[in-house]
Structure 1
Amino acid sequence: MHEQDEAAAPAGIEPAGGAVSNPEPRAGGVAGLVRRHPTAWSIAAGALVFALLGTGALFAGSAAGSPGPAPVAVSTPSAAAPVAHRPAPSAIPAASKLRSCSVAELAADSRLASFQAQVVSAASGEVLFDRGGAIPSRAASVLKVLTSAAALSVLGPGYRATTTVVKGVEPGSVVLVGGGDITLSRTPSGDESVYAGAAHLDDLAGQVRAAWNADPSNPPLTALILDASLFGGDEWQPSWNRKELSDGYMPPITALQTDGDRDNPYKNTSARSDDPIGRAGGAFAEALGGGVSVQRGTAPAGAAQLGAVSSQPVSTLIQQSLIVSDNAIAEMLARLVAVKLGTGNSFDALQTAIIGGLQPYGIDTSGIVVADGSGLSDDNAVPPSYLTRFFIKVNAREGDLGIIFDGLPIAGETGSLSYSDRFTGDSSVADGSVFAKTGWIDTGYTLAGIVHAQDGTVLTFAVYALGDVSDDAKTAIDAITAGFYRCGDNLSNN
């Protein structure tokens, strides 16, 4: 039976089975009804009180402006009790990923000496691993990446450095004008030097002879003047160790030279001379057929041009420089950037020029110091954090930066990361998956670039091993880079 059925039996109806025994006398009016049916009236009275209380609470809630349901009971039904508003919950922060793949043991390798590094997720920009990543330090040849980026933004990928020959002031004289092309070759045309596709002196000499002989009024060719004035200041950066010349890694920086001034134009590492301008002039005089005097000077303004040859475009020069870490091309590009921007034509102009060339990429250049274009100087400084941010753009091939990506050595496959002492042993797991620029100077080894990790994550990274280091620092750098490859997005900063 339902509760409402029990409570609603009508008054005066006898229970089934017989009459009511000893009935109480009936009272008249409401009082009589209450005495005759006390249970029903108690229930009715309770319901009335409940309704009155609820109505009072409703009015109280309405008076207070409460948007929610009214309280069931109040201490004083006739008084409007204030209702406290519950504060809205604050936003719950997103949980950060708990990463558990540690490279701490690899980072503690003593061969890394003074160790700095940063690793970033290329997709999210999140820093996954950091050890002194904001500290500007010498980056060695990794600096060539910044020089290349500045050349792309200032010169453009299609720019070519042009060497010309014009008539001299004196009858019978011509002027060989260096255009900053250090790849110009003295090897015979069709015979490739270390710089594939380079312009050749014999081609230029052939143009000059043809143009000279085409004018019957010209006297015999008797004098060659060498103009290298496009570049100025010191030819050797004061902080460079002079042994780099004899060891075959760096020439004096002049606007006129051939084959990066190598003794052997077919070898990347070959001793350089103290006089690249003189060597280039001698080779050109010989290509002209000999019998001419050679001296230094400058071209007269407005002189008639007799011939011209041009370098490979900047896009090709960058890749030739990065793949084997060619110092001469990097210095050539840096100096041409300075000349184009009008900051000067010496080493002193490079700080302003390279930083200016990096501005279009929109990354904070604070702390970057540029003493040269190649990274050979200990005075250069680049924070690893700049490189990780920059390589995100390289990986995305923003603008012309795909040219840099395509010039990066690949672990175990190309360039300076394919040598027999790179990514060996356990580190070979990352072969084909690390695209990075190597760096080596007497006081440090560096590596920076892009990792296509084992789990499919793309990482950008920079690793510096600085100070009292030996050649085995490369092995330690490769090992921790392979660690980044294995960890991927699970890389822990602990």
Structure 2
Amino acid sequence: MPLPSSLTAVPEVTPTALSSSSSASASSSSSSVSSARARPPASPRLQHFRRHRRAWLITAAATVFALLATGAVVGGAATGAGLAGFGEPGAASVVAAPTATATPTPTVTVDPDRPVPAAATTASRLRTCSVAGLAADGRLANFQGQVRNSATGEVLFDRGGTTPGATASVMKVLTSAAALSVLGPDYRATTTVMVGTEPGQVVLVGGGDLTLTRLPTGQESFYSGAAHLDTLASATLAAWNADPARAGTPITSIVLDSTLFDGPGWDDGWARSELALGYMPEITALQVDGDRDNPARSTSPRSEDPIGRAGQAFSDALSAAGAGSALTITRAAAPAGAAPLASAESQPVSTLIQQSLIVSDNTIAEMLARLVAVQSGSGNTFAALQSGIVGGLEPYGIDTTGLVIADGSGLSPANAVPPAYLTQLFQQIDSRAGHLGVIFDGLPVAGGPSGSLSYSDRFAGDNGVADGAVFAKTGWITTGYTLAGIVHAADGTPLTFAVYALGDVSDNAKQAIDTITAGFYRCGDNLSNN
């Protein structure tokens, strides 16, 4: 009988393999015939096996195959297993079992864990509006820039945004933010007149108000709302005469105290030509009109001695108010414990910031920076501005690493701020966090009625598409042009941005900056970093 094709045929087994004890004597029928002794008659079971030998062998083979397949043949059982169906103890196993050997314990190899990010990566949309060509404009020289979605903080565009660079007058934004933090929006710088140590002597103590004006009351200086020196003189004379102990003693001398700020008054990084051109005065705690020759003009030549100019103006005002003429003027610190006679206060910091930002006034910016340093305990010199202003920025929670503060106005090329710092600070300005709405309200507006972005060469032509939508601080020094602020984009997305064109630049860098900023406006949240 043939086997099923799925099985492997087992070789035919002779009857001797099934003998209980004498396999050798039953090896062949011929040897049995020639034997000297007749065999006993075969048992009925053996006779049955011989008659149906082939059927038995097939059955045995199939049985062995089945046992092997099911694991019923136990390794090492050489005797006593018994062939199923035969019931004969002591019969040899049909299939010799392999010698049992110890199975080696496998070495478990653990695959290294795949790296898993600490947090799931947030999918970002595919943005398709590119300004790469505008960023490559040669007029921008060494270009740096960054743009963020102000609402989400996502960086949409970045070219060297984390590298500190010269800010130019954009530095005024940092100075203003520090002033709001350290001084507060309501702080006023106070100029005081005290009683001197000599008979007939008064001391004019500068409190850091560089906007105090010598113009007569009723006339506005460039700094609208500034305190008037003639009002201070009149109040001084009235208080002097009101004390019976001084009755009949005229004011004959004035001492000028400007010790609140220490020298030098001019930063090494400033071109001295800025003084004569009218962009910057010497920084002293006592002066009038930002030391301008013409108190009503933004740009007007400054003197070499702002303290002396202020002293003479006060002497003239006292004489006009009824004091004697030809008052002597000296310089010294006010005596400890001197009695005050009168005082005059500047506009609050909130107003001063807006006056500084709108036209990029250097004088107020340096005034605020020095007051921040003094009030914070950092010192009263240019060297104190680094710790004073950086310390004043810390409450905003933005990493100040890499900030270099050489002055408060940005005129020094030594200032260094990453564009990324500005885009983050402008996020808080845009949301009017704390008192920072003061800065937003003071920013020039593209196409606005006044300020440094209202000039005919800014956001002209096709760039006028962004008029009314760009609120930003301008900056210019001989080695660069900058612009940083907020854009209300065409698609309604609020953006914060900062762009620097540094190096070998000319005046046309302003137009290139305006063009890429108008590109930010057009792209909105679809702005691509490619």
Q: Give the alignment's TM-score, normalised by structure 1.
A: 0.81
Question: Is 2:347 aligned against 1:312?
Answer: yes
Give the structure 2 partner of residue 287 of structure 1: 317
Q: Of 182, 189, 192, which aligns to 2:220?
A: 192
Q: Of 405, 414, 419, which aligns to 2:455?
A: 419
Give the structure 1 partner of residue 208 of structure 2: 180
SS in 2 for 1:217: helix
Give the 5 Å matches for 1:96-175: 96-175=124-203
Partners of 1:340 and 1:465 in 2: how far apart?
34
Partners of 1:127 and 1:211 in 2: how far apart?
60
Partners of 1:233 and 1:351 in 2: how far apart?
16
Partners of 1:390 and 1:406 in 2: how far apart?
15
Q: Of 215, 234, 243, which aligns to 2:273?
A: 243
SS in 2 for 1:251: coil
CA-to-aligned-CA distance 1:247-276 (integer Å, 9 cap, x gap): 110000000000101111101011111100
Amino acid at match of 2:512: A
Amino acid at match of 1:128: L
User: Which residues of structure 1 form unaligned runs of 5+?
Assistant: 1-89
- CA shift, 1:105, in A, is 1.4
CA-to-aligned-CA distance 1:254-305 (integer Å, 9 cap, x gap): 0000010111110101111110000000000000103201111111111111
- CA shift, 1:215, in A, is 2.7
For this pair of structures, how many residues does the alignment match? 405
Give the 5 Å matches for 1:64-463: 95-218=123-246, 219-289=249-319, 290-413=325-448, 414-463=450-499
SS in 2 for 1:386: helix
Partners of 1:189 and 1:93 in 2: how far apart?
64
The CA RMSD measured in Å over matched residues stands at 1.2
Stretches of 4+ aligned residues off by more than 3 angstroms:
90-95
Give the structure 1 partner of residue 505 of structure 2: 469
Partners of 1:211 and 1:389 in 2: how far apart?
50
Amino acid at match of 2:218: G
Partners of 1:101 and 1:292 in 2: how far apart?
70
Partners of 1:257 and 1:131 in 2: how far apart?
43
Partners of 2:120 and 2:309 in 1: how far apart?
71
Partners of 1:381 and 1:330 in 2: how far apart?
17
Partners of 1:221 and 1:203 in 2: how far apart?
17
Question: Is 2:523 aligned against 1:493?
Answer: no
Partners of 2:123 and 2:377 in 1: how far apart?
51
SS in 1 for 2:423: helix
Partners of 1:203 and 1:92 in 2: how far apart?
66
Amino acid at match of 1:401: L
Give the structure 2 partner of residue 34 of structure 1: none
Percent identity of paired positions between Structure 1 and Structure 2: 71
Q: Of 515, 518, 521, which aligns to 1:479?
A: 515
SS in 1 for 2:245: coil
Amino acid at match of 1:236: W
- CA shift, 1:453, in A, is 0.2
- CA shift, 1:98, in A, is 1.1
- CA shift, 1:217, in A, is 3.5
Partners of 1:206 and 1:92 in 2: how far apart?
70
Partners of 2:519 and 2:303 in 1: how far apart?
43
Amino acid at match of 1:488: G
- CA shift, 1:95, in A, is 3.8
Partners of 1:367 and 1:93 in 2: how far apart?
28
SS in 1 for 2:528: coil
SS in 2 for 1:136: coil
Partners of 2:133 and 2:412 in 1: how far apart?
31
- Higher deviation after alignment, 288-297 or 110-119: 288-297
CA-to-aligned-CA distance 1:26-64 (integer Å, 9 cap, x gap): xxxxxxxxxxxxxxxxxxxxxxxxxxxxxxxxxxxxxxx
SS in 1 for 2:269: coil
User: Which residues of structure 2 form unaligned runs of 5+?
Assistant: 1-115, 320-324
CA-to-aligned-CA distance 1:182-204 (integer Å, 9 cap, x gap): 00000011211000110000000
CA-to-aligned-CA distance 1:57-80 (integer Å, 9 cap, x gap): xxxxxxxxxxxxxxxxxxxxxxxx
Partners of 1:338 and 1:189 in 2: how far apart?
32
Partners of 2:520 and 2:469 in 1: how far apart?
11
Distance 1:337 1:94, change over 3 A: closer
Partners of 1:328 and 1:354 in 2: how far apart?
16
- CA shift, 1:306, in A, is 1.0
Partners of 1:282 and 1:92 in 2: how far apart?
69
SS in 2 for 1:449: strand
- CA shift, 1:96, in A, is 2.2
Amino acid at match of 1:259: D
- CA shift, 1:220, in A, is 1.6
Structure having the higher Rg: 2
SS in 2 for 1:119: strand
Amino acid at match of 2:331: R
CA-to-aligned-CA distance 1:364-387 (integer Å, 9 cap, x gap): 000000000101101100000000
- CA shift, 1:216, in A, is 4.1
Distance 1:177 1:97, change over 3 A: same
Q: Give the alignment's TM-score, normalised by structure 2.
A: 0.75
Give the structure 1 partner of residue 103 of structure 2: none
Distance 1:92 1:330, change over 3 A: closer
